[in-house]
Structure 1
Amino acid sequence: MLLVFLAVVLFIIGATLSRRVDVSISLAAGAVAYGVAAFGPGVLAATAAAFNMSMAYVLTSLIFAMALGFLLREQKTRIASGLSALGARAAAFAIPAAIGLLPMPGGAYVSAVVVDPLYDKMGLKSHQKTFLNYWMRHIWIPVWPLFQGVLITAAVLGVSVWQVVEWAWPGALFAAAAGVAVAASLVKPVPVAGDPRDLTALWPLAAVAALSFLVPLPLAVGAVYLAYVVVNNVGRDQLAASLKYALNPRILAIIVFSLVFAQYIKESGLGAQLAQALGPYSGLAVFLIPFAVGLATGVEFTFAGLAFPPISSLIHGPALALAFAGGFLGVMLSPAHSCFVLTREYYQADVGMVYRLLAKATAAVVALSAAYYVLIFY
C-alpha cells in the first residue's frame, strides 16, 4: 500500500498546486481512492470506524474555537493596547503572536492591520513588516490546543492535546527564537501608548487554557464561548455570524477527510511499512515529509492530517517536535499560504525581499531542529 499512498499524496499535492482544485476536494478524492484501493468493499466499514468520539471531539472543539475567535476579533485594539504597555519592541513581536492565538483562516491580515501603526513608527519597510507579522502570527502552530493541527495530531496519535503540547513545544520555541533573532535588530524603541488593563481582553484564552486541565477541551471551549456571549451581551446577529463562520464547510471537510484518511492509513498498516522502508533515514523523513506536504498545500493543518498518520509510529514522543518544525516551515514557505498572500498584499511588499528574511528564519529553525535531534536521539 506504500506505492498507492505515495500516488495519492502526489495527486493531492499536484491538484492543489494547480490552483484549479481546492485542497478540501483533492483531499477527499485522494482519501476515497486510497480507501477503495486498500479495503475494496470493506471501505465502508473502515469509513464508519472513522466517525467516532475522537472525530466528534475534534470537530466540537474546532467549531467552538473558531466561533470564539470570530467574536474575539472585536477585542483586537484592546489586545494591542495592553501589549503596547510592555514597550514598543516587545509589542512588535507580541501583538501578532497574541492575535495568533485566535484560530481563524487568514488571521495574519487582522494582526497586520492592528500592528501597522506601530511598525510605521519604527520605520519598518514593507517586507520587514510582512515577515515580522507573518512569522510571529504562526509560532503557536505546534502547541496551542485550539489550533486544528494540534487537535488532528491528538486524534491521529490517540493522545490528549496536552500530551501533544508536551512533545511538540520545542518546535514552537524554535520558531519564536528564529523570529526574534532575525527581526530583533529591525525593531526600534519608540514612544508608544498602552494600557496594561487592556490585557484583560485576553481572559477568554486564559480561561480555555485553565479549564482544559479540568474538563475535556470541547466543554472548556464551549463554556468559555457561552460565557463570553453572556458577559459581553453579544447580539443575535453577531452570535449567528460567529456560528456561520465556525461552520465553514471547507474547513470542516478538510478536518473530516483528514481523519478518515488517517483511519484508512491506520487500518491498512501503512505506518509499519513506511517505518520499515525508511530504516536509518527515519529522522530525516520525520522532518521532510511534513515539510513537503505543508509546502505544497499551504494550509496550516493539512500536514498533520496527511503526513502524520503514516509516520505516527515515528513521532509518538519527542520526535513530534521535529515533525511540527518541518510542517511549520513548509507552510511558512508556501506561496499558497493565505496568510502570506494577505499580509504581503496589505503591506505591498516585494516577494523576494520577504523570502530573504524567511530564509534566514528557516535556516535558524533547521539548525535548532538538527541540534535537538542529535541531543535527543544520540
Structure 2
Amino acid sequence: MTERFIGLMSGTSLDGADGVLAQFEQGQLQVLQFASAPFSVALRAELLALNSAGENELHRAALAANALARCYADVVHALLQGGGLQASDIAAIGAHGQTVRHQPGLWDGTGYTLQINSPALLAELTGIPVVADFRSRDVAAGGQGAPLVPAFHQGVFGAPGALRWVLNVGGISNVSRLDLRTQSDVRGWDCGPGNALMDHWSQQHTGKPYDDGGRWAASGQVIPALLTALLAEPFLAQQPPKSTGRDLFNPAWLAPLLATHAAGTAPANVQATLAEFTAQAIAQDMQRHGAAPGQQLAVCGGGALNQHLMQRLASLLPGMQVDSTVAHGLPPLQVEAAAFAWLAHQCWHRLPGNLPAVTGARGPRVLGAIYPA
C-alpha cells in the first residue's frame, strides 16, 4: 500500500517553515518533494517574543498561530504543485507548530510543552487532514516530549551491526545514539544550544539572521573565561532523559555572562566563543555516552551548513567520521520535516511515535491529534 504524507517543521531557529512530501510504501519513507517558506520579519519577531511572558499573550499567540498556518499552507501548496498532486492524494499533514514554552515535569509534576499552531485553519486552507500536537501526550505520560526524532533516525540512518550518531543542530541541538550492534538500543536527548545563541548575536551585531557558513565566528578568537562560564551551565551535565529550549538558552541567560566575561570584547570574539560553546557542549555530551573513533556522526539541521561548526565538531571528536546527512541519503534541511511526516503516519495508523527510553515516558504512546479536512 502506497500512502503520501506531508511533514512540516518550523524549529527553534525561527527562520521559516520547511516541508516535505513523503511517500510510504511497506513502511519505507521516500521524500518526493521539498519546499520552504521564510517567516516574515513581523512573524519571526512575534514568535520570538512569545517565548517570554508579555502583555496580552493569548490574543497575540492566537493571531501568530493563524499567520503560521498560512505560512504552512503556502508550503503545502508548493509541495502539491511541485509533485503534480491534488489535496485528495495526501493522507494527512504532520504539522509540528512552533514551540514557545517547554516545561516538562515542572511546576505541578506534569508540566507542559506549548506549540503555537492552528491545525484547524491549516486543514481548512489545504483541504487535507492535519495531525498536530505531537509532544503533549508524551509529557502527560511523564516524558520530556522531546526529542521525538530518534525513532525516525533509527529507521532512516541506523546501520545494522554499527553504532551511529545523528545530530540535529537547529536552534537547540539534539543527538540520537543508534546502537544496532547486537540489539536495537536507541537513545536521544537535547545537548544544549544549537544555532539560537549564535543567530541572536549575529542578528544583533551584523543585522544578518545567521552567520553564513560560520565565517564570522572563524574570524574571531575564543574568549577562554567566557567559554568556561558557558560550559558551567548545569543542564549540560544532566543525564538523559533531558530536553531544553529557548526557555533556558536565550539572550537573558547569556547577557550576565557576557557582562562578566566579555565586556569590551570584539563581537567576532563572542561569536567565536558561542560557536565553540555549541560544539564543545555537543562533543562532551556524546563522549560521555560512548562516542569514539571509528564511529559515524551524521549532522542535519541548519548547523550542518555551518562549515566552521562542522570543522570544530570533527576536531573535538577525533577519529569519527563527521558529515552531513546528505551523505546518508537525506539532505540536512529535509530531515526534521520528514520526521514529522513519519510521526503523522504513525498517528494515522495508531502506532506509537515515542521511545520511552529516550523521553522517559511511562510507555509507548500514539502521539498527535487529528483534525479532519
Q: Which range, TM-score by smaller chain?
A: under 0.3
User: Larger % of helix: which?
Assistant: 1
- TM-score, scaled to structure 1: 0.26
- Alignment TM-score, normalising by the size of structure 2: 0.27
Structure having the higher strand fraction is 2
